[in-house]
Amino acid sequence: MIQENYSLSEAQIQHFEVFGFLVRRNVFSAEEVARMNEEFDRRFTAVLKETGPEGKRFFHWTNLTEETPFIAGLVNDPRIYLHSEQLIGEDSVFHNSGSNSFPTGTPWHPDRTDLNVCSIRSAMYLQPTTADCGALRVIPGSHKNPLHEDLLRIGLLNPKDQGSPYLEKSGLSGEDIPCYIFESEPGDMITWNEQTWHAAFGGYKDRRTCNFDFFGNPKTPDEIASMRSLAKQGKHYQPWWLENPD
């Protein structure tokens, strides 16, 4: 049954604040997911024409294009923006919607290591996932110190695709790291603080995700300085999306 009340409960908000992620089930219908996959296929075909033979590569693109109008419009859907406002503030700012096509699994990493940047990502897998087949894994509480920096210190992060120093020294695999596994059906969504460590194993060719990113409005001098530094990296909204507010 598709969710009707889009507001989060106090318990859900507390879960996100403490553990750094939140799962919501049956957020989108099968018909809506089919429409997302249609737009994904259309955009992916165009991307492949632009980049040549795909091989074993990771593909990412913005959804704020003419080829993906349904997904682009979801930023105005309360199922996407309302929980973001509850989690990081009513003055939070939409940043981007993107799609990914993964060729394999993804090693352990946080999306950001600057804890002065408040940002969240909501993602939906467009195919079913399981622990052995590409499900996202998150380490609860790893969005905060000391755990966040402890994971950096021991070398869990994979530097420039060279392999995790910690996993190599310990003899463990990425699957051995204690975590929550987000086994999902299309229509389910997970939202995480982008400082939260996450990974996926048992991946497969064209493992698909659709993401929606929001920034919290910086308040302190350190937060403002970090956001200004991030802004210099040149992230921009697509002109088509800006010209079509509806």
Mean pLDDT taken over the chain: 89
Give dist(CA 219, CA 89) in Å, integer: 11
> Which of 8-17, 26-35, 93-102, 184-193 comes out lowest in average pLDDT?
93-102
pLDDT tens-place string over residues 210-246: 999 999 999 999 999 998 888 877 655 555 444 555 5
Mean pLDDT of 103-117: 91
Give dist(CA 60, CA 101) in Å, integer: 6
**Which H helix or E strand runs over 212?**
strand 207-215
pLDDT for residue 244? 53
The share of the chain scoring above pLDDT 70, in percent, equals: 89
pLDDT for residue 161? 59
pTM of this structure: 0.89
